[in-house]
With several copies, the nearest count.
Chain A
Amino acid sequence: MIDKILDSPAAALAEVPDGATILIGGFGNAGMPSALLDALIAQGARNLTVVNNNAGNADAGLAALIAAKRVSKILCSFPRQTDSWHFDKAWRAGELELELVPQGTLAERLRAAGAGVGAFYTPTAFGTRLAEGKETRHINGRDYVLEYPIHGDYALIKADRADRWGNLAYRKTARNFGPIMAAAAKCTVAQVRQIVALGAIDPEHVVTPGIFVQRVVKVPALEGAA
């Protein structure tokens, strides 16, 4: 019997090696896999490359991972926040490399990784500093920049419900990067509020089919909000 459900975030992340690329879902607090981030900090892997829309807020989650000096590189679209002090400090100290990626290009590069696209041309950022040094091409009257996929070793995402096959449904704007990160990683770990019986998620309403999910951990709402 297929059963992707594990007992704890710690069990789900036990083998994360140093140097891994970790895709982290969420936009603001919505969809942020807090319990998985706590487990990753406890697990101890170092020299990580992290992909997230932001670069951590306040003192928990990704910010705590940065504060613990586990992150050597971060790909994100918007690191600067009023409370991104751990990132700010590490970046100014040169402890951490930043690859700034426009948000839509970040999303499309993740989507390309999941969908087996080798590279793609996007109009975004053409003629700007973020396209400097990149290959460009004029296609059908418009200018485009060549961009490459972002593959993850792990994706840590948060969904609302899962079944034992790993099918996921999300809640409102907490969906955000979850589906595309799930498809872009070798090992996707989903933190969910609720485990439901196989078939309880209507097949029309499955947002991330289980083919993209390797591990599921139930984290009750209270713990997830920590």
Chain B
Amino acid sequence: MKKLGRNQIAARVARDIPEGAYVNLGIGLPTLVANHIPGDREVILHSENGVLGIGPRPAPGREDEDLIDAGKSPVTLLAGGSYFHHADSFGMIRGGHIDICVLGAFQVAANGDIANWHTGEADAIPAVGGAMDLAAGAKQVFVTMEHLTKKGESKIVERCSYPLTGVGCVTRVYTDLAVIDIKADGLHLVEICAEGLSFEELQKLNGVALKYKAAV
């Protein structure tokens, strides 16, 4: 089978982001999603550090140290953008005004729990940033991740073994193998993304039972 690459996963997420959506993209793969939103589709990107309407990366030499995103990378601002302080920014998140956030994860559970901030190792320096706020506050939480660990274990699990970031909040998972919805009654396969991967094979890799309404 042929798994999706990082940019292909990002492009797949981008397909599901409608015009007019207010979207927060996490650091790493989620940030790539911005590159795949069609130029004629207006999507308004939010960053935790107090900005709405993020535009493309600045050209080299045009960076402004006062204009960065939550990953501390230089960005630009679109016409129509705005600045605000941290409490207002997280008010937007916590108050349910962000339509979609896209997060990376170590694990996602069948009940929508997400673990993405801590490996669970005792001596690891913990760092959470805005992940718990986004998990708890965004209307929809999309997760992007590789489907399997390096050891071949599914990162979609019955119950997370890593420390949780949020409970019952993930609505959709995009992996290098598939797109899966998390609903009250469990996992629903939306589509298989890896070329040559059958439902039965995916089900076996996934561990947790997948529902699949084929021809819809």
Contact = CB atoms under 8 A, between A and B. Distances in A.
**How many interface residues does chain B have, given as a range?**
35 or more
A220 interface: no
Contact of A129 (B22, B83, B136, B163): B163
Nearest to B86: A107
A87 B166 CA distance: 27
B64 interface: yes
A124 B49 contact: no
Interface in B54-105: 64-69, 72, 77, 79-87, 89-98
B79 A173 contact: no
Interface string A158-194: 0000011101001111111111100100000000000
- The CB with the most chain B CB atoms within 10 A, among A88, A127, A204, is that of A127
Interface stretch (A8-16, A41-49, A59-67, A112-120): A112-120
Contact of B132 (A98, A124, A172): A124
A138 to B, nearest CB: 13
**How many interface residues does chain A have, given as a range?**
35 or more
B42 A1 contact: yes
Contacts of A38: none
B85 A179 contact: yes
B127 A172 contact: no
A164 to B, nearest CB: 8
- The CB with the most chain A CB atoms within 10 A, among B48, B49, B53, B65, is that of B49
Nearest to B21: A2
Nearest to B125: A80
A77 B130 contact: yes
Contacts of B185: none
Interface string A100-124: 1111111110110111110000111
A90 B37 CA distance: 43
B44 interface: yes
Contacts of B47: 173
A15 to B, nearest CB: 18
A198 B48 CA distance: 22
B94 A122 contact: yes
B200 to A, nearest CB: 34
B133 A105 contact: yes
Interface in A186-222: 197-199, 201, 203-204, 206-207, 209-212
B80 A165 contact: yes
B207 interface: no
B130 A102 contact: yes
B3 interface: no
B135 to A, nearest CB: 8
B61 to A, nearest CB: 17
B184 interface: no
A172 B67 contact: yes
Nearest to B64: A172
A77 B66 contact: no
Contact of B95 (A88, A113, A207): A113
Interface string A62-86: 0000000000000001111000100
Give me the 9 closest cross-chain CB pairs, A-B, nearest first. Answer: A199-B79, A116-B94, A104-B90, A104-B133, A115-B91, A206-B82, A127-B167, A80-B127, A116-B95
